[in-house]
Amino acid sequence: MKKQIIAAAVAASVSAVALADVSISGAAQANINKKLDTAGQPTVTHDVDIKVTGKTGDTTFVVDLENTTATNTLTTAGDALQVKNAYMTTDLGGIKVKAGEWYNGDSNLNNASQQKPRAEFSTDLGGINAKFAMEPSNNGSTGLYEMHLGANLAGVKVNYEQENQDNHKIISVAGSLSGVDFSYTDSRSDNTAGDRLDAASGQALNAANAAEVTAYTGFDTNNEQNMTISANVGGMKVEYQKMESKAGTTSDGFFGEFKTATLLEADGFGLTTSLAGNTVQIRNYKTVTENATKAGDVVAVGDTVLAPTENRDTKIIVTRPLASGATAEFTYVTGDSEDMMDLEFRMKF
């Protein structure tokens, strides 16, 4: 009788565990970086992510924990391991629901950051994917609300997004034509606060030009565009990327990472090929970053208006998988903005 009771208890516990599907995954990287254009010692940094996923039926809950060199202050409670993403996905009668807080993605027009508490509802309607998103605590008392429509038209992906904030509209297309891959994004809003001044570097304002400069709204820089074109030529990937943005835009893409310096515009070419078991990328690009003065700033007679700063750089990236299971990546950048070397080791599990 005792054996039967124990067997029943074990069976019940196993059944309970079977109902919950829990998995753990993650990624880690360590970087050794040396600035070649300034004196000083190399820096060693790390970034570790641990992702816990719980699943039952059509419902999934994800918690992403992160530790980086910047947040690794073990003497401060709560800083050692921080929650990066926490959200739930489920299905409600054919409507996919996602709710919580999570980081948006990196791109030439965005350096990923955590969004406000957010909920998304999406479904397919006759070949069109429709999504409604809401961030009630964003954009002050009005909240942020978005409507997305997406479709595949003759192999070309077309997406349209409309927001209630500043009449913000985003149109994007992506596809392939005769072996050439392309994508284009156009983002427009009524907010002109990020428009920049078109002035020569060091131009001093005077009574004749003060009003003109104060009123100047740039060249449609409340709009943002990003374009990529790539093709395989002789076993090499050849690509061209170009972007324009407004003040206040960060970036983390083809042209590098811009967290604080605002990337206003950039364009450049890239080559990617395989060489002796390595993936080799060569990029040559121009970047234009914002200076202190932009349209909407208070300027007066005697103030100095600074033009944006233009730099041209070359970046070489060599990536190689190691027998240990890690991936090593060496990056060398030289040009107007910086000269540096970076050695990165990363792994996923």
Residue 282 in domain: yes
pLDDT confidence of residue 312: 95
User: Would residue 124 count as lying in a domain?
Assistant: yes
Q: Is residue 21 part of a domain?
A: no
Query: Is 339 or 76 the better-scoring residue by pLDDT?
Result: 339
- Distance, in Å, from the CA atom of 212 to the CA atom of 207, rounded to the nearest integer, reads 10
Return the minimum-mean-pLDDT range out of 120-129, 194-203, 232-241. Answer: 194-203
Exposure pattern of 294-309 as b/e (b: 16+ CB <10 Å)?
Answer: bbbeebeeeeebbbbe
- Work out the average pLDDT over 118-138: 94
The whole-number pLDDT of residue 199 equals 44
Number of domains in the chain: 1
* Token pair 């943005």 in the structure block, residue: 245
What whole-number distance in Å separates Cα of residue 345 and Cα of residue 349?
Answer: 14
What is the average per-residue pLDDT within 7-30? 68
At residue 326, what are phi and psi to the nearest 5 degrees? -90, 170
Number of H helices and number of E strands within the chain?
2, 22
Q: Which residue has the tokens 């909407």?
A: 296
| Domain of residue 329, CATH code | 2.40.160.10
Kindly state the tokens that stand for 85: 């993403």
pLDDT at 208 over 80: no
Residue 343's domain comprises 28-348
User: Is 92 inside a domain boundary?
Assistant: yes
In a domain, 15, yes or no: no
**pLDDT of 165:** 78
Residue showing tokens 């739930």: 88
- The model's pTM is 0.80
Query: pLDDT tens across 41-74, in order?
Result: 999 988 999 999 999 999 999 999 998 876 565 5
Average pLDDT, the chain: 82
Q: For 208-227, give one letter per residue: b (16+ CB within 10 A) or e.
A: eebeebbebebeebbbbbbb
pLDDT recorded at residue 309:
79
Is 202 within 8 Å of 306 (Cβ atoms)? yes
* Gap between the terminal Cα atoms of the chain: 45
Confidence of residue 217 (pLDDT cuts 50, 70, 90): very low
Reply yes or no on whether the pLDDT at 267 is more than 80.
yes
C-alpha 163/C-alpha 157 separation (Å) is: 20
Calculated CA dihedral for residues 232, 233, 235, 241, nearest 10 degrees = -50
pLDDT at 185 over 60: yes
Tell me what pLDDT residue 213 has. 47
Given this model, what pLDDT does residue 107 score?
A: 87
Is 154 part of any domain?
yes
Q: What residues form DSSP beta bridges with 146?
A: 133, 163
Contact criterion met (CB below 8 Å) for 270 and 281:
yes
pLDDT band, very low/low/confident/very high, at 32 (cuts 50, 70, 90)? very high
- Is residue 251 in a domain? yes
Q: Give the residue-averaged pLDDT of 119-148.
A: 91
Token representation of residue 252: 């983390």
| DSSP-derived 3-state class of residue 332 | strand
The larger pLDDT score, comparing residue 159 to residue 10, is at 159
pLDDT at res. 302: 53
Mapped onto helix, strand or coil, the DSSP state of residue 142 is: helix
pLDDT for 74 equals 55
Q: Tell whether 333 is covered by a domain.
A: yes
Mean pLDDT of 133-141: 84
Q: Tell me what the mean pLDDT of segment 130-156 comes to.
A: 90
Q: Which residue, 256, 284, 275, 271, is CA-closest to 320? A: 275
Q: Flag whether pLDDT at 192 surpasses 80.
A: no
For residue 17, what is the enclosing H or E element? helix 2-19
Residue 193 predicted with pLDDT over 90 = no
